[in-house]
Amino acid sequence: MKLLLKVVPLSSKDCISGWLDKRLKIKVKAVPEKGKANKAVTMLLEKSLGLNKGNVEIIQGHRSTFKTVEINSLSKAQVLRLLA
Protein backbone atom coordinates (compact mmCIF):
# COMPACT_ATOMS: atom_id res chain seq x y z
CA MET A 1 0.00 0.00 0.00
CA LYS A 2 1.27 3.48 -0.84
CA LEU A 3 0.91 6.32 1.64
CA LEU A 4 1.55 10.03 1.04
CA LEU A 5 3.41 11.92 3.78
CA LYS A 6 4.27 15.47 4.80
CA VAL A 7 7.38 15.25 6.98
CA VAL A 8 8.49 17.96 9.40
CA PRO A 9 12.11 17.39 10.50
CA LEU A 10 13.77 19.04 13.53
CA SER A 11 10.59 18.83 15.61
CA SER A 12 10.52 18.64 19.39
CA LYS A 13 9.35 15.00 19.31
CA ASP A 14 8.69 12.08 16.96
CA CYS A 15 4.97 11.79 16.36
CA ILE A 16 2.19 11.36 13.84
CA SER A 17 0.28 14.64 13.81
CA GLY A 18 -2.75 13.70 11.74
CA TRP A 19 -3.98 14.20 8.21
CA LEU A 20 -3.49 17.17 5.88
CA ASP A 21 -5.89 16.44 3.03
CA LYS A 22 -4.59 13.13 1.64
CA ARG A 23 -1.17 13.30 3.33
CA LEU A 24 -0.25 12.01 6.76
CA LYS A 25 1.76 14.62 8.69
CA ILE A 26 4.72 13.17 10.57
CA LYS A 27 7.08 15.10 12.83
CA VAL A 28 10.57 13.78 13.60
CA LYS A 29 13.39 15.10 15.78
CA ALA A 30 16.05 14.01 13.29
CA VAL A 31 17.94 16.39 11.05
CA PRO A 32 17.34 16.20 7.30
CA GLU A 33 20.93 15.17 6.57
CA LYS A 34 22.41 11.91 5.32
CA GLY A 35 19.03 10.14 5.44
CA LYS A 36 18.57 10.56 9.20
CA ALA A 37 15.07 12.06 8.93
CA ASN A 38 14.06 9.41 6.39
CA LYS A 39 15.21 6.65 8.73
CA ALA A 40 13.29 8.25 11.62
CA VAL A 41 10.14 8.38 9.46
CA THR A 42 10.31 4.70 8.51
CA MET A 43 11.07 3.65 12.09
CA LEU A 44 8.16 5.71 13.47
CA LEU A 45 5.73 4.25 10.94
CA GLU A 46 6.93 0.70 11.57
CA LYS A 47 6.54 1.16 15.32
CA SER A 48 3.11 2.82 15.01
CA LEU A 49 1.83 0.09 12.71
CA GLY A 50 3.40 -2.78 14.66
CA LEU A 51 5.58 -3.86 11.74
CA ASN A 52 9.03 -5.40 11.62
CA LYS A 53 12.00 -3.45 10.34
CA GLY A 54 12.05 -3.18 6.56
CA ASN A 55 8.28 -3.21 6.00
CA VAL A 56 8.12 0.55 5.31
CA GLU A 57 10.13 1.93 2.40
CA ILE A 58 10.34 5.47 1.05
CA ILE A 59 9.80 5.15 -2.70
CA GLN A 60 9.56 8.83 -3.64
CA GLY A 61 10.69 12.14 -2.14
CA HIS A 62 13.95 11.11 -0.48
CA ARG A 63 15.13 14.74 -0.50
CA SER A 64 11.74 16.38 0.01
CA THR A 65 9.32 16.94 2.86
CA PHE A 66 6.62 15.39 0.65
CA LYS A 67 7.22 11.65 0.51
CA THR A 68 5.54 8.49 -0.69
CA VAL A 69 6.08 5.31 1.28
CA GLU A 70 5.28 1.70 0.47
CA ILE A 71 3.91 -0.30 3.38
CA ASN A 72 4.25 -4.06 3.03
CA SER A 73 2.15 -6.74 4.73
CA LEU A 74 -0.86 -4.53 5.55
CA SER A 75 -3.90 -3.55 3.52
CA LYS A 76 -5.04 0.03 3.07
CA ALA A 77 -7.96 -0.56 5.45
CA GLN A 78 -5.62 -1.94 8.15
CA VAL A 79 -3.21 0.99 7.82
CA LEU A 80 -5.98 3.60 8.00
CA ARG A 81 -7.53 1.87 11.02
CA LEU A 82 -4.18 1.75 12.87
CA LEU A 83 -3.42 5.40 12.11
CA ALA A 84 -6.90 6.71 13.01
User: So what's the pLDDT on residue 84?
Assistant: 82
Please tell me the CATH code under which domain 2-74 is placed.
Answer: 3.30.1200.10
pLDDT in tens, 14-61: 999 999 999 999 999 999 999 999 999 999 999 999 999 999 999 999
How confident is the model over 54-72, as a mean pLDDT?
97
For residue 79, name the pLDDT band (cuts at 50, 70, 90).
very high
Give 8's strand partners: 27
Give the three-state DSSP class for 46: helix
**What pLDDT does residue 45 have?**
97
* Predicted local distance difference test score (pLDDT) of residue 17: 96
Domain range summary for the chain, segments of one domain joined by +:
2-74
Residue 6: its pLDDT value, please? 98
26 CB-near residues (< 8 Å, 6+ apart) = 5, 6, 7, 8, 15, 16, 17, 41, 44, 45
